Amino acid sequence: MKVRRLLRVAAASAAALALTGCATGLPSSTEQLRVVATTGIIADLASHVAGDAAQVQPLVPKGADPHSYEPTLRDVRSIVYADVALTNYQMLEEHRLITTVDANLPKTSINAAVAENAVKHGANVIPLVEDVHLDTVWLGLRVHGTADSRGADRSSEVRLRMTGASVPEGASAHTFLTRSLGQTDVLFDTTDGFGPEDLVSLPPAAHTHVSWAFSKPGVYRLRFSAGLATRAEDSREQRLASGDFAVVVGKDPATIPEMKGRRVVDAGHADITVDADAGRFALAVDKKGGGLEYLDPAETAVSVTNSAWRDIPRGASFLGPAGTPTYLLPQAVLGKHVHGEIDPHMWLSADNAIAYVKVIRDVFSRADPANAETYRANAAKYIDQLDQLDAEVRREIDAIPKHRRHIVTAHDAYRYFADAYGLSIAGFASPYPGAEPSAADRRRLGDTIRNLDIPAVFLEPMGRSPALTDAAAAEGAEVCTLYSDTFDNHVSSYIELMRTNARTLKGCLAP
């Protein structure tokens, strides 16, 4: 999340450009169209549209997770020579992969975000759901808005900095990221001053999960600033905003005179937010009935109640000696995960895959007009196959009794499949890959399997989820395999992926 870490990809890109020279632009009439696609699934869809008229190269290899895959110099070389780049986006891919595509694709080439453009062709969109169960406030960081009026795009980043703090005498505040294996990255620390390294970088319209620790009760006033870098590697920034946030720790805000009249936020989801369009800070909180409400920081107080009082865990020596009490707001979802508002796994509905194909058809026809008729014919033929696939998947799922159409998975990646084919998402071990379920999550998982008499749970082929497999073993449930966003040596096409998933669900859930 630090700027110095983000710059490494830019340096690698520059080195690769020096090695490969300049790209030659769009193909001549005798050349095949050169296409890179971030994921194997998009590459497979594109290959069916391309036929013999184009070469399609996936960047994320088989078995790799697009959420975390970082580009190599070989990937940069492929991008430099591409006439077309196809990304899913909706923040599916690791942001460094997206910025590498955007930075190295020739200006004459076409850069298409397939999922976002698929909506124009009737793709169904499902909002990303975060169902957290905490007895304290969950305090994250957010960028609201796209800042496109300021020249921003998806390769831009907003840099949030803590620039000052007023804390109780002898107290400290820390903001940190807890990774899935327990490692911690300290983001903000009031004990060591405030410098350029005290920052978190996020893409526009994204938010992330962090942990907070406050060493003593009292009022903490935290000052933040935000700047926009239209390119992640750019050291120059447009100033966006600055703002102060009041955090009341271990005390009732109603008893503190300077907090009188402020709205108190002491539970649920809240984010320290910079509005990149309006140029101001806000506290984003969950609104009853759905959505977010943006509150003026000068009129609100975040309350960290005494239920957050706990001992410092081992491995967190930057907070103090292990076993020393502190006020701790866990990030609820462990592991680094920056995401947007839309579930990006749109292809897990055949109807949405058809919309993807239509986007790819139009992009190829624009990039290579001489072969436009070929692309249209190939797309029409493949869409017929996808219509047949859709009907086949429905037949398989319809064979499962309705009371057994509950799926429990390692991660929350199957909402489009469930919505399209009449299944229910009964539970998951963690919302995202790399996230570590809490003890409460583990208990809830076992209760769900037992209460719904679920015969099988589902794990991705390359995935590990001890929480899921342990719960399944305890309740006597089978562990079966479902595919989501990558291929392996057994499944190497989109049609195979969907067909395999449907047959697996029928085989594992039907009596």
For the chain, which residues make up each domain, given as ranges? 3-126+343-386, 137-339, 400-509
What was the pLDDT predicted at 432?
Answer: 59
What 3-state DSSP class applies to 165? strand
Model confidence band, residue 21 (pLDDT cutoffs 50, 70, 90) = very low
pLDDT for 337 equals: 44
Asked if 17 contacts 345 with a C-beta cutoff of 8 angstroms, the reply is: no
Give the C-alpha separation, 47 to 361, whole Å.
11
The mean pLDDT of the chain is 87
Question: Under a CB-based contact definition with an 8 Å cutoff, are residues 357 and 383 in contact?
Answer: yes
Across the range 505-509, mean pLDDT stands at 98
Indicate if the pLDDT at residue 161 is higher than 90: yes
Please check the confidence at residue 434 and state whether its pLDDT lies above 70: no
pLDDT of residue 126: 84
**Angle, helix 3-20 to helix 95-104, in steps of 10 degrees:** 40
pLDDT at 331: 66
pLDDT value of residue 184:
80
- Which carries the bigger pLDDT value, residue 337 or residue 155? 155
For 183-215, the pLDDT digits (tens) are 688 999 999 888 877 889 999 998 888 899 999
pLDDT recorded at residue 151: 93
Token pair 């562990």 in the structure block, residue: 479
> pLDDT by residue (tens digit) across 76-110?
999 999 999 999 987 788 888 999 999 999 999 99
**Structure-token match 């005290």, residue found:** 198
On the question of a common fold for 3-126+343-386 and 400-509, the answer reads: yes
What mean pLDDT do residues 483-491 have? 94
491 vs 403, higher pLDDT: 491
Tens of pLDDT, residue by residue over 118-154, are: 989 999 988 765 444 445 788 999 999 999 999 999 8
Per-residue confidence (pLDDT) for residue 436, from 0 to 100: 66
Q: How far apart are CA 32 and CA 369, in angstroms?
A: 12
pTM: 0.67
Question: pLDDT grade, residue 31 (50/70/90)?
Answer: confident
Quote the pLDDT of residue 15. 39
What is the pLDDT, as a whole number, of residue 341? 60
- Does the structure show a pLDDT above 80 at 455? yes
Residue 8 has pLDDT above 70, yes or no: no
pLDDT at res. 289: 59
Q: Which CATH class is domain 3-126+343-386?
A: alpha beta
As its CATH architecture, domain 400-509 has 3-Layer(aba) Sandwich (3.40)
3-state secondary structure of 182: coil
Please report the pLDDT score of residue 30 as a whole number.
Answer: 53
pLDDT of residue 386: 98
The answer on pLDDT for 438 being more than 90 is no
The tokens describing 30, both together, are 């005798």
Nearest in space to 244 (alpha carbons), one of 204, 286, 296: 296
For 48-67, how does the pLDDT look when each residue is reduced to its tens digit (9 = 90+)?
A: 999 999 999 999 999 898 98
Residues 422-430: what's their mean pLDDT?
Answer: 85
Cα 61 to Cα 73: distance, rounded to the nearest angstrom: 14
pLDDT for position 448: 86
Average pLDDT over every residue of 34-43? 98
| Confidence category of residue 351, pLDDT binned at 50, 70, 90 | very high
For residues 350 and 393, the answer to whether their CB atoms sit within 8 Å is: yes
Strands (E), 291-423: 292-295, 300-304, 309-311, 325-329, 338-339, 406-411
Q: Residues 430, 434, 440, CA angle at the centre, nearest 5°? A: 30
Report the distance separating Cα 378 and Cα 280, nearest Å. 49
Which of 434 and 156 is assigned the larger pLDDT?
156
Residue 380 has pLDDT above 90, yes or no: yes
Q: Which residue has the higher pLDDT, 439 or 140?
A: 140
Question: In this structure, what DSSP letter does residue 464 have?
Answer: -
> pLDDT-derived band of residue 269, with 50, 70 and 90 as boundaries?
confident
pLDDT at 339 over 70: no
Q: One-letter amino acid identity for 78?
A: S
Looking at residue 133, its pLDDT comes to: 41
Residues 428, 458: Cα–Cα separation, whole Å: 9
Q: What is the arithmetic mean of pLDDT over 282-307?
A: 88
Q: What CA–CA distance (Å, rounded) separates 487 from 55?
A: 19
- Asked if residue 426 has pLDDT above 90, the reply is no
In this prediction, residues 298-317 reach a mean pLDDT of: 86
User: In 3-state terms, what secondary structure has residue 270?
Assistant: strand
Task: Please write the tens of the pLDDT for every residue from 165-186.
Answer: 999 999 999 999 876 445 688 9
Query: How much is the average pLDDT of 266-292?
Result: 89
